[in-house]
Chain A
């Protein structure tokens, strides 16, 4: 099967490695990957801020760009939610509404695709670290994905999955909320950082790069030793990669 990559606009611009690793993992388990270069943004920033008239042409554009794809995989639960859950409402009464509904059923969040479509929870990854999974809100409460990413993480060699207290609490990103209500957003992020530290996690992972960008910003400002990695980044680490890492670390030490 050929899979079309849906790379959210901010991942394209700010976190390209998340997109690359998503492609690497999918290819490793046998999928042919297509990146429709006409894609830009699904319209969620405008939609969430109330600018539905500005979001609508982007939604229509998205449907046209991806209409021929057999399956679309996105490394963000939030952008997947936009297409699957919100396009029908946004495009209500337009010619593309029904097609958007059908397309929504073929758009999958990355972990959801691995578990439910590819039926592969072991993708041959190795990552010998203590990792906590942060339940990103849209994946958890809009797409109802809770066990899928955890199941995959449990199959990563060497990885110890730890649960944070309040793992279902929002990290505080929330799109423009993060800057409009910066003080509330960071208070929520600090609570998340504290939960990760209390669970003695080395890494926080999630299905949403935007949450991770926010959490990472807080952790780095606090000079915390906890780091963030997207699920795809972890799954892309194979045995040889982690050997490379440890060799590099060893030579670093030797110097």
Chain B
């Protein structure tokens, strides 16, 4: 078993039993569900909207070569820089080099999952550059020295009381549990850093090919300050973020907002197409876009799972997932938690190390129904499992077990015979009172569940006797 797998099992056991944690998450997701239902009702037809978004992303993903180059040309024509990063290391090196060359000492960063993916902030901090998270949720988890818990709501695992105590400890100032006052504390604190920063780093929700612009969506306006006040703006995006046309945002923006938080539209939606122009009064002097591959091209080559690149990082699959709600975001030990993370991470970081996530699912399919761009998430978990078996990543005992199962069930006679022996053994064990002891033959099952009542006769035996015909 990989390290990641044993850590997952350990943390999952702790978190699943943590009722207070489960309650916080349930409460947060109940509120999301209410908002989402209201949001969905605003659409004339949500299913059609999903289908349209799927088609837009599918077109883009299948023509990345064309749309990315179109995007690059237009950004460059406006004086921006575009850097194609093959992997995390190249992306980090580009940004740290740029920061060092320009003498950058502080950076304000808005939300970017790609920055998490490439572990950007620690790399910059190592160079002595201070990075401030400016998204409120990210700011909170940064103060706690934690990765984001959820890709849209990074601090959803914390209560007002937790945040109040955290602010009191780390920021000083007033003692309050009132959300608007807590927001006020963070705002006053962050406002100074915006003015002091030499560089702004942002993500990009979309890269618009036909206009050469990045689209950024936030609820706090932090990305707008962070990308316009400092002299340098660096935007980070995975190559799959490109969309063909500006008009595609007419459906992608409201669908992203609704799937993400239930809002009709997110508060701030900004298009940025380059550095400050000759006759413009504001904006950065330098504009860099980093297009990150980091395994995405290989996923693109996988015709079966290519639709994973449709993902717009709305977090809807996390909210819908009963496993996520039980174990929480940190247990996954990945940048992207929840169903999308379980599907994607083996592609980014290796199937051997992260196959366990594809097995840590009841395959209920709630994620697939929730996905606004129609990624076939739970079936891809099945595909990852098949790949894990075919690439010999599974334990030998399991392999032999299924070979034995196959041998047994390829003959009705064998199946019936071995079944009756198995039942007799179980009945004997439970008659002897072995349930829940170390000798319990169904041990993992009976740890927290009663053993099933084992019948003396199988269906086929009863059927032969004519039982069931009355």
Contacts and interface: CB of A to CB of B under 8 A. Distances in A.
Interface stretch (B107-115, B150-158, B401-409): B401-409
User: Top 6 nearest A-B pairs by Cβ distance?
Assistant: A174-B362, A217-B449, A50-B385, A170-B364, A20-B468, A220-B450
Given A40-B411, A50-B389, A174-B363, 7 more contacts: A20-B459, A41-B405, A45-B405, A49-B402, A57-B406, A182-B444, A216-B450
Interface residues of B, number: 66
Interface in B379-417: 382, 384-390, 394, 398-399, 402-403, 405-406, 408-412, 415
Size bin of chain A's contact surface? 35 or more
20 contacts: A7-B459, A13-B423, A13-B459, A19-B463, A23-B468, A37-B460, A40-B410, A50-B388, A51-B389, A52-B389, A141-B364, A172-B362, A173-B362, A175-B362, A181-B360, A183-B13, A184-B323, A184-B360, A186-B449, A187-B17
A137 B360 contact: no
B305 interface: no
A49 B385 contact: yes
Nearest to B364: A170
A164 interface: no
A90 B323 CA distance: 26
B449 A54 contact: no
B419 A182 contact: no
Q: Tell me what chain B mostly uses at the interface: helix, strand, loop, or mixed.
A: helix
Most-contacted residue by chain B among A47, A170, A172 (CB, 10 A): A170
B205 interface: no
B457 interface: yes
A185 interface: yes
A57 B326 CA distance: 36
Contacts of B459: 7, 11-13, 16, 19-20
B359 A35 contact: no
B410 A24 contact: no
B415 A170 contact: no
A153 B402 CA distance: 38
Contact of A54 (B322, B365, B402, B422): B402
Contacts of B469: 23, 27, 33
A240 to B, nearest CB: 12
Contacts of B446: 217
B410 A57 contact: yes
B448 A186 contact: yes
Interface of A: 7, 9, 11-17, 19-21, 23-24, 27, 33, 35, 37-41, 43, 45-55, 57-58, 61, 137-138, 141-142, 168-170, 172-189, 191, 213-214, 216-218, 220-221
Most-contacted residue by chain A among B408, B419, B448, B451 (CB, 10 A): B448
Contacts of B128: none
Given A16-B455, A16-B458, A182 B365 contact: no
A142 B362 CA distance: 14
B386 A52 contact: yes
Nearest to A138: B365
A48 B447 CA distance: 23
A216 to B, nearest CB: 7
A176 B401 CA distance: 12
Given A37-B460, A221-B448, A172 B322 contact: yes
Contacts of A53: 389
Nearest to A35: B463
Contact of B460 (A12, A14, A187): A12
Contact of B449 (A20, A27, A214): A214
Nearest to B385: A50
Given A40-B412, A184-B326, A217-B452, A16 B457 contact: yes
A38 B448 CA distance: 35
Nearest to B450: A220
B391 to A, nearest CB: 10
B327 to A, nearest CB: 6
A183 B412 contact: no
A180 to B, nearest CB: 6
Nearest to A140: B365
A16 B454 CA distance: 10
Given A49-B389, A170-B322, A187 B16 contact: yes
B386 to A, nearest CB: 5
B361 A217 contact: no
